[in-house]
Amino acid sequence: MVQDLNQLGYHSSFYFGGDLVYGNLKAYMMANQFDRVIDEKSLPAHFGRGKLTIYDEHLLTYHIEEMNKEQEPFFSMVFTGSTHSPYDEPKIVEQLTWNCPEIDYLNSAKYTDYSLKKYFDLVKKEAWYERTLFILVADHSHRTHLQRDYHSPEYQHIPMLWVGGAIAEEYRGTTYEKLASQVDIPKTLLHQLHLSADNYQWSNDIFNPYTQEFAAFETLQGINWIRKDIFLRYDGFKNYFYPTTFAEDSILQQEQLYTKAFLQQLYQQYLDF
């Protein structure tokens, strides 16, 4: 999507408060042709930081300063890091004291929430806010105090928020319940910009009322398949679908075929590269 927007005159950038060697992020972002890729080496030395990244509030405040100098239109991504292990956020917000194994993660999430509020309180004062769409989305889920099973669909549920002055008044405050995943963002966003999304065969338009609702996510040597009332978990080590209760065996068999077909087509495309 970055490459398509670059060709339309957008100025693209990616910001991360840690070392982009982490997870091979730098190669991925360079391959996607971001105009500028910024990590800890390019950020002010006085910013407070944990073991993994610069604290979220400093990165986000710096991002506003950078966008004030950016030529419009722009497409910019910020990858926060304080909610990643070892969760050594600065503890400037009131700490939760619940008795649960994930308390450090929960407090780091509370800190990121504080940082995001600070970001939006500041960015709303900028002239470009009214022309900008902000999409907030998690890259993956996490175990919390609810202790949901890793292989359950509830565990994999992540937040996505669309906010900003670019959203028409009548849609503000709307909750959209359609089942989707991160890969559906490109087609959805490009269609909102009245642009072609023909290159994104794995992406669905979330706002299209005729789009079939499903999501797939991987586990080690396996795949999980979710529809509104259907959840399948496949273990590639054992070549085994875990037991699931369905009203009809024919529906179960049909969804198993869909799951296999999705994974086979995806992997074949990877091999063809």
Least confident piece of the model among 103-112, 132-141, 198-207, 245-254: 245-254
Please give the model's pTM, rounded to 2 decimal places: 0.92
Asked whether residue 247 carries a pLDDT value surpassing 70, the answer given is no
Asked whether residue 171 carries a pLDDT value surpassing 90, the answer given is yes
Cβ-contact 135, 161 below 8 angstroms: yes
Please list the residues that pair with 15 across neighbouring strands: 38, 78
DSSP, residue by residue, 79-130: E--TTSTT------SPPP--SSTTHHHHHHHHHHHHHHHHHHHHHTTSGGGG
**What's the whole-number average pLDDT of the chain?**
92
67, burial (CB in 10 Å: exposed 0-12, middle 13-18, buried 19+):
buried
Cis peptide bond upstream of 86, omega within 30: yes
Within the chain, all domains assigned CATH 3.40.720.10 are found at: 2-175
**Per-residue pLDDT tens over the stretch 85-128:** 999 999 999 999 999 999 999 999 999 999 999 999 999 999 99
**Per-residue pLDDT tens over the stretch 144-168:** 888 888 777 888 899 999 999 999 9
What residue spans of the chain are helical by DSSP H? 2-7, 25-31, 56-69, 103-123, 185-192, 249-272
Supply the pLDDT for residue 104: 96
The class level of CATH for 2-175 reads: alpha beta
Coil/strand/helix, residue 32: coil
Asked whether residue 244 carries a pLDDT value surpassing 80, the answer given is no
Section 70-92 average pLDDT:
96
